[in-house]
Amino acid sequence: MAEPILKVKDVSVSFDGENIFKNVSFSVSEGDILAIIGPNGAGKTVLFKALIGLIPYHGEIKWRDDIKIGYVPQKLPENIYLPLTVKEFLVLKSKSLFFKDRDLLSDISHELKSFGLGTEILNQPLAILSHGQLQRVLVVFAALGHPNVLLFDEPTAGVDIAGEDTIYNSLHKLQDERGLTILIISHDLNIVYRYATSVMCLNKKQICFGEPKKTLTSEQIVRLYGESAFYHHLH
């Protein structure tokens, strides 16, 4: 059996003595799409930050040695609105990956097309993009350089339905074409059922883990979100 691309064992995070979450354990195999779900404040974004080494944690997080990670955060850094065009922003990432100059625009154009964006967007300043356009540019940024693992924290937050479908369909296509492993935080159970191979339920502690259709029973959803939120999340 192949070694998992990620092993997480008994991981806990606390800030100033307050537990954000505790005793989280799961593994991810190559080519999986793992959805992490839970209410606001459950610790999902903090877990992502622990997975990529941005914050301290207790427990064990072990990535396979050959992984290269692309990451799209939930909140944009303030300096995203520096006076940069889309081209300048994406070239910065490409240069850091040691692309040959003649390959830069070809690779960037290919990734833009994958996520439903034309090359005409390259000369537009980041600051004037719609939220949906900017979100897709950030996904392109993460996909540049052909990482084998992509982490997305609510990649379609604030994006209209058409843009949301474009992003998820593109991610699924890339996953098929490149054998990508994807970890995604989402509040939309329809997306989880449609795309995820496994789901991890988190609310300060691990509530469930497994195949979505078998794991996300009505009882588990109530445990995760509470009775008052059951109808909303089930529909």
Q: Does position 77 have pLDDT exceeding 70, yes or no? A: no
For the record, the structure tokens of 15 come out as 């800030």
Please compute the mean of the pLDDT values over residues 93-112 and round it to a whole number.
Answer: 69
Q: What percent of the chain has pLDDT over 90?
A: 43
Please spell the DSSP secondary structure of 52-103, one letter per residue.
TTSS--EEEEEE-TT--EEEE-SS--GGGGSS-BHHHHHHHHHHHTT--HHH
Q: What is the pTM of this model?
A: 0.85
Q: Does position 233 have pLDDT exceeding 60, yes or no? A: no
**CA angle at 109 for the pair 183 and 171, rounded to the nearest 5°:** 20
For the record, the structure tokens of 43 come out as 């610790």
Dihedral sign (CA 116, 119, 122, 125): negative
User: Which domains are seen in the chain, by residue range?
Assistant: 6-234 (3.40.50.300)
Helices (H), the chain: 44-51, 86-96, 101-114, 131-143, 161-178, 189-195, 212-215, 218-225, 227-234
- Secondary structure letter of residue 205 according to DSSP: B
Q: Does position 100 have pLDDT exceeding 60, yes or no? A: no
Burial of 86 per CB tally in 10 Å (0-12, 13-18, 19+): buried
Q: How far apart are CA 198 and CA 38, in angstroms?
A: 14
Count of Cβ atoms closer than 10 Å to residue 8 Cβ: 22
Q: How far apart are CA 64 and CA 86, in angstroms?
A: 32
Determine the pLDDT at residue 98: 47
**How far, CA to CA in Å, does 214 sit from each of 34, 183, 193, 210, 222?**
14, 19, 10, 7, 15
Banded model confidence at residue 35, pLDDT cuts 50, 70, 90: very high
